[in-house]
Chain A
């Protein structure tokens, strides 16, 4: 759990310091959905984030630090994802690639707003992840911890530090086998389109949220497109485009975009080539809170 504390401090710390945006990206006015999310994220913060700081998080955080993050560059092969990628913090939301709110159904919009309001009034939100179940997708793809990609014949593995979440992407199957059970992380099949790894995941249970506030059902289908991409400064991101479809919760498919910076500097940290032990089991913080009447189980 060490990294959790370090990250919490880092996130707290960055609110008071400068997070430079991608040099080439002009600062723009937040859309109403983004402004609403920023207001939620700033709730209770001693030093609120600026719009620039908040936007920068979606493009991988502090570009000024990037030199120290890549003491060795990633392998040049565009289909070689081996190595560590750091999922940036402060981005657990469903703002789409155009800065618009997700196309909620009226019912889901209402439920999402209820949770946002409850949290604003002091409720402690708990979800599958905070009880040590696997995070779900794309909730896992927003969790600010490193992930390592690895290969086995016919499959790609995503080894996430957070709560040792493990994703298995089947390149040797076109679709999930018959009778595949529902699960927290679903069943993923993948294929290459050019140098983009396309991963389609289905067979989710309905026990995980998509972010902190929005839910999904068992019809959820998540399509992720992973692509190595150079930043304007020559560093490497994994560009992650996440398309979410669930007709029971959203009126149409929508796509959120994230960038995961390459972090070869973390490989030498104590631990296992940069993925530290994360024993969620030791710290089930939200499990016992239910007796005080302030908990909402999503």
Chain B
């Protein structure tokens, strides 16, 4: 089995975006069993999506470098040097589960399965999924909380915007392909808003007092992929089968 994390898929994604068919597959909630349907006016994110423009190095919303603290800046520089020396320095090249928010703007298609109680974010890359509860709060964030690769997420609605808060991640993941680091103190807020039927505007706010001098935000765009079906994507470290 070869690595499936290959930029070749980016071209496929871009081609699909270019053909851009309309969103016929999510006009109503009728696909859901009746007891699982949200209020009729709830924004409907169900369907298949992909990044409009892949992100290689995460910048702030106005295109600036993230506000790294000195120690984190040194770590970023070291990560970049390691990556240059060996592309497998990237945690995802070793098949570790991608953290949040990197998985959110991974350059592969994804699927959103939404009902009244939760939003399931299903990413093609290495068959990774996040089950985001809309009705259970985040756990208490203290030393007893076991850090997870994808942390702990909880979602809620702010008007027409889906807001997902994530805490409790380990510090073994990078925030992007360029080696941007973070600590276990990272808190991520993702905000998703429909912009017409076929586009989602994503906004991220990253707060990490051990990495950044202040909270900062950035944006990305997801575009509907009506004709695409998620493929089986498998990444297993150092192993052939």
State the CA gap A80–B32 with chains docked (Å).
8
The answer to whether B35 has its CB under 8 Å from any CB of chain A is: yes
B window 208-241: CB within 8 A of A: 229-232, 234, 236-239, 241
Min CB gap B166→A, angstroms: 11
Q: Give residues of chain A (138-186) contacting chain B, Cβ–Cβ below 8 Å.
A: 148, 150-154, 157, 159, 164-166, 168, 170, 177, 181, 183-185
B133–A164 touching, CB < 8 Å = no
B131–A275 CB distance below 8 A: yes
Q: Provide the main secondary structure of the chain A interface.
A: loop
Q: Is the CB of B236 within 8 A of A75?
A: no
Instruction: Verify A159–B128 contact, CB threshold 8 A.
Output: no
Taking the closest CB of chain B, its distance from the CB of A212, in whole angstroms, is: 18
Q: Are A166 and B35 in contact (CB under 8 A)?
A: no
Tell me the bound Cα distance from A174 to B178 in angstroms. 43
In the assembly, what is the distance between CA of A181 and CA of B4, in Å?
A: 14
Q: Does residue B75 face the partner (Cβ distance < 8 Å to A)?
A: no
Q: Mark B92-123, 1 if CB is under 8 A from A, else 0.
A: 00111100000000000001110101101010
Number of A-B residue pairs having CB atoms within 8 Å of each other in the complex? 119
Q: Is the CB of A153 within 8 A of B46?
A: yes
Closest Cβ–Cβ distance, residue A216 to chain B (whole Å): 15
Roughly how many angstroms separate A148 CA and B96 CA in the complex, as a whole number? 23
* Docked-complex contact A153 and B149, CB < 8 angstroms: no
Nearest-neighbour CB distance to chain B for A161, whole angstroms, equals 10
What are the residues of chain A within 8 A of B20 when measuring CB–CB?
A: none
Contact A273–B133 (Cβ < 8 Å): yes
- Bound complex: CA A76 to CA B234 (Å): 36
Decide: B131 and A272 in contact? CB cutoff 8 A: yes
A183 to B96 CA separation, bound complex (whole angstroms): 21
Do A151 and B95 touch (CB < 8 A)?
Answer: no
Task: Give Cα A77 to B32, complex, Å.
Answer: 11
Which partner residue on chain A sits nearest B35 by CB separation?
A: A75
B residues less than 8 Å from A151 (CB atoms): 31-33, 36, 113, 115
B115 touching A150, Cβ below 8 Å: yes
A86-120, CB < 8 A from B: none
**Is A134's beta carbon under 8 Å from chain B?**
yes
Are A157 and B31 in contact, with the CB atoms below 8 A? no
Known: A75-B36, A133-B1. A152 touches B149 (CB 8 A): no
**Chain A residues in 8 Å Cβ range of B150:** 277
Whether A77 touches B241, Cβ cut-off 8 Å, given contacts A157-B113, A277-B148, is: no
Q: How far is the CA of A135 from the CA of B95 in the complex (A)?
A: 17
| Residues in A whose Cβ lies below 8 Å from that of B238 | 287
> A153–B239 contact, CB under 8 A?
no
Does any Cβ of A come within 8 Å of B152's Cβ? yes
B94, B145, B236: the one within 8 Å of A131 (CB): B236
Interface: A25 (CB within 8 A): no
* Cβ of A5 under 8 Å from chain B: no
Minimum CB–CB distance from A70 to chain B (whole Å) comes to 16
Interface contact A284-B128, CB-CB below 8 Å = no
**Which A236-259 residues have a C-beta within 8 angstroms of B?**
none
Does A220 have its Cβ within 8 Å of any Cβ on chain B?
Answer: no
Contact B232 A133 (CB under 8 A): no
Contact B34 A150 (CB under 8 A): no
B25 located at the interface, meaning its Cβ lies under 8 Å from any Cβ of chain A in the complex: yes
A148 vs B131: C-alpha distance when bound (angstroms)? 10
Q: Are A279 and B97 in contact (CB under 8 A)?
A: yes
Q: Which of A76, A131, A277 contacts B239 (CB 8 A)?
A: A131
Asked if B177 is at the interface of the complex by the 8 Å CB criterion, the answer is no
Which residues on A sit within 8 Å (CB–CB) of B33?
Answer: 75, 77, 79-80, 82, 151
B138 nearest CB across to chain A (Å):
10
Residues of chain B within 8 A (CB-CB) of A165 are 127
Identify the 3 closest CB pairs spanning chains A and B, nearest first: A80-B33, A272-B131, A183-B232
Q: Which residues of B contact A (CB under 8 A)?
A: 1, 25-26, 31-36, 46-47, 94-97, 111-113, 115, 117-118, 120, 122, 127-133, 136, 139, 145-146, 148-150, 152-153, 229-232, 234, 236-239, 241
Can you list 20 pairs linking A and B with CB atoms under 8 Å apart? Answer: A2-B146, A75-B35, A77-B35, A80-B34, A133-B236, A151-B32, A153-B47, A154-B31, A157-B120, A157-B122, A159-B122, A159-B131, A168-B229, A168-B230, A207-B241, A272-B130, A272-B153, A277-B148, A277-B149, A281-B237
Please name 4 further chain A to chain B contacts, defined as beta carbons within 8 Å, in addition to the given A131-B236, A132-B237, A164-B129, sorted by A numbering: A76-B35, A77-B34, A151-B32, A151-B113
